[in-house]
Chain A
Amino acid sequence: MADAKPKPPILEVERLTKYFGGLAAVKDVSFEVREGQIFGFIGPNGAGKTTLFSIIAGALKPSSGKVRSRGRDITALKPFQLVQAGIARTHQIVRPFREMTVLENVKLASHFGRKNVTSDSAAEEHAMQILTWFGMETFAQKSASILSVGLQKRLEITRAMATEPDLLLCDEICGGLTHVETAAMLDWLRRIRDRGTTVMYVEHDVKAITAVCDRILVLNYGRKLSEGAPDHIQQDPAVIEAYLGHPPGRRQEG
C-alpha cells in the first residue's frame, strides 16, 4: 500500500492528428480518461468524432500522435490485440453474427476475450453469466437475427463486455432508439461503470451524453474545443457558439 505514484490513466491520447489527403479530420487532440469514469465526446457533424474513435479502437492509423493505456503504447495495436489489452468496442451499426444464437455470439467473446476461456463448457457458463447480468438470458437460444434493434444493441454491449474489458468504447449506441430505450441504455452504461469498467462514449445526442457522462470532450473541426464536467461544458460560451451560432441567449430544448 506504499504505492504513492498515481496509476497512469486507462486511456491517454497525446496530440493525435489524422489527415485524409490534405484535410485534417483530427488535429492535435489530447485528453486523458481516468479509471471509473464515463467519458464522452461530442461535436457537431464532421467534428472528427468517428475518426478519433476509430483511431483509438485500432481501426484507423493516425498520421501522428500516440494512444496509451496505463502507460503502454497501444497506437499500433490491431483490434484483436486491443481486446487482449482490455479494450473492447461496440459498433454504431450493430454487427451480430446472424447465423449464430445469442448465446453463441456471447460465447465467442468469452472464448476469445481477455479471459481466453478454452473449454467449451466454461465459455458457455461465462457467457450465460454475462447474458443474465444484462437480462438477456431468456433470449440465449434465439437466433441473433430475429432480435429487435434495441435488443441487438444490447447484445452488442453484452458481447463486448464478455471479453472482460477494463475500458469499453461505445460508438453511438443510442442511435435509432426510442426515448425509453435510450434511458435504459444509459442506465446500462452507468451499471457497467459501477461494475468497474471505464466507458468511453461517443454520441450525437447531446442530451444523452450530458445525462450520463462524468467528463466530456467537445470536438469542433477536428480540434478540441472544450473539456470538463457536463455542467462546465453546457456553460462554455465556445461550445454554445459551436452548436447554436453566435448571438447567445436562446436555449435549446430538445
Chain B
Amino acid sequence: MSTSPAPLPIRLLAQWRTFAPSWMILAGLAVMPLLLSSPNFIRLLFVTLLWITTSVAWNLLGGFAGQISFGFAVFYGIGAYTTALSMNAGVNPFIAFLVSAITAAAASLLVGLPTFRLRGPYFAIATIGISEAVRVVMTNLSFTGGASGYRIVEHRAFRQLDHYYTALVLASIAVAFSVFISRTRFGLGLNAIRQDEDAAAGLGVNPYAYKLGAHALAAALTGMVGGVFSRYAAFIHPQGVFGFQTSVHILLMPVIGGIATIWGPVLGGVVFGIVEEQIIASFPEIHLFIYGSMLILIILVEPGGILGAFRKLLRRIHGRR
C-alpha cells in the first residue's frame, strides 16, 4: 500500500481487462458504418450516440450528485443556438462546439447559483421554471428567428460520416469523463452529497461548489451535443431544442438504464435511441404520456433501472455474496 502511486492514466491502462469490453464496443462502433452503410442506419446510430452523451452528462449531476434537474434542454438549446450562430458567422464547426460547451457551462452557473440553494424537489421544480422561461424568451427573440427557427448554412458538402464520428468521439469523451470522475476525490464528494448532503458538509465537502462543478461539466457536454445536433439538422427551433420534452428525454434515459452508475445511462441511451422514433411514429399524440408512465413505473418498480434489475437477477443466480 505504501508504494508510490502511479498516475491515474497509467493505472487506468493497467486495468485494461476492466475496460477491454468498452474498447471492443468502441472499435465495433468505429467500423460499423463502414460495413452497414445505409444512411438511415447511420443516422439512427448518430442520434443514439448523441442521446447517450446527454444521458451520461445528466448523470454526472442527477446520478452522481443526486440533483434531479428537469432543465437540461436549456443547455442543449443554448449549445445548439451557439453553434448555429457561430457557424453562420464563419467559425469552424469544431471550434463552434467548444464555444457551445463554454456558453452552456456559463449558463449552468447562472442557473445553479440561485437554484442550488434549494434542495430536493424544490431544486427540480425550479429547473422546470427556468427551462420554460428560457424557451419562451427564445421563442420571442427576433435575431434568432423566434418561434420560426434558425437555419445553419455550412459551405461544404454534407458527409454523414463526419457527423457520425464527431458524435462517437463526443460519446467516448463523456463516458471516459464519467469513469474518471467516479474514481476521483471529486466523484467521492458528489457521491457523499447524493447520500447525505449535511453529513458530507460536516466532513469538509463543499456541497454548493461541488454541485456547481458537476452542473457545469454536465452542461458543457450537453451543450456540445446540442451543437453537433444543430450542425447535422441544419435547422433548429425553440420548441424542439428548448422544448420540455427534450429535458424529459435527457432525464428519462439515465433513469431507464440505472442512475448513478457508469453504464446505466449508456444503456438507457441505447434503449431510448432505438425505441424513441418508434414511439413517436406509432403514438404521436401520446408519446409524452408514454414516457411519463415509463418514468413512474421505473421509479415504483425498479429505481435502479435496467442495470439495477440486472444486478438483482445476477445476485439471485449466484446467491448472496
Using a CB–CB distance below 8 Å, which chain A residues touch chain B? 57, 59, 78-80, 83-84, 88-89, 91, 95-100, 104, 107-109, 111-114, 118-125, 128, 159-160, 162-163
Residues of B within 8 A of A112 (CB): 185, 189, 200, 203-205
- Taking CB as reference atom, which chain A residue is nearest B207? A80
| B277 in the interface (beta carbon within 8 A) | no
CA of A114 to CA of B204, assembled, Å? 8
Residues B180-203 near A (CB distance < 8 A)? 183, 185, 188-189, 191-192, 195-196, 198-203
Residue from A59, A113, A128 in contact with B203 in the complex, judged by beta carbons closer than 8 Å = A113
Whole-angstrom distance between the Cβ of B214 and the nearest chain A Cβ: 16
Residues of A within 8 A of B196 (CB): 95, 97
Residues of B within 8 A of A128 (CB): 1
| B2 in the interface (beta carbon within 8 A) | yes
| B206 in the interface (beta carbon within 8 A) | yes
CA of A78 to CA of B202, assembled, Å? 9
CA of A197 to CA of B183, assembled, Å? 32
- Taking CB as reference atom, which chain A residue is nearest B189? A112
Decide: B2 and A125 in contact? CB cutoff 8 A: yes
Whole-angstrom distance between the Cβ of A49 and the nearest chain B Cβ: 18
Residues of B within 8 A of A118 (CB): 185
Using a CB–CB distance below 8 Å, which chain B residues touch chain A? 1-2, 5, 183, 185, 188-189, 191-192, 195-196, 198-207
- Taking CB as reference atom, which chain B residue is nearest A98? B195
Add 16 more A-B contacts to A95-B199, A111-B185, A163-B203 (CB < 8 A): A78-B201, A79-B201, A80-B201, A80-B203, A80-B204, A80-B207, A84-B204, A91-B202, A95-B198, A97-B192, A98-B195, A100-B191, A100-B195, A111-B189, A112-B185, A163-B204
Q: Identify which of A119, A121, A159 gathers the most chain B CB atoms within 10 Å of its CB.
A: A121
CA of A59 to CA of B197, assembled, Å? 12
CA of A119 to CA of B11, assembled, Å? 13
Residues of A within 8 A of B1 (CB): 121, 124-125, 128
CA of A104 to CA of B187, assembled, Å? 12
Decide: A113 and B204 in contact? CB cutoff 8 A: yes
- Taking CB as reference atom, which chain B residue is nearest A169? B202
Decide: B195 and A80 in contact? CB cutoff 8 A: no
16 A-B contacts (beta carbon < 8 Å): A79-B198, A79-B201, A83-B202, A95-B198, A95-B199, A96-B199, A98-B195, A108-B188, A108-B189, A108-B200, A112-B203, A120-B5, A125-B2, A128-B1, A160-B203, A163-B204
6 pairs of A and B residues whose beta carbons are closest in the complex: A112-B204, A83-B204, A95-B199, A79-B201, A109-B203, A97-B195
Whole-angstrom distance between the Cβ of A189 and the nearest chain B Cβ: 18
Q: Identify which of A95, A112, A120, A163 gathers the most chain B CB atoms within 10 Å of its CB.
A: A112
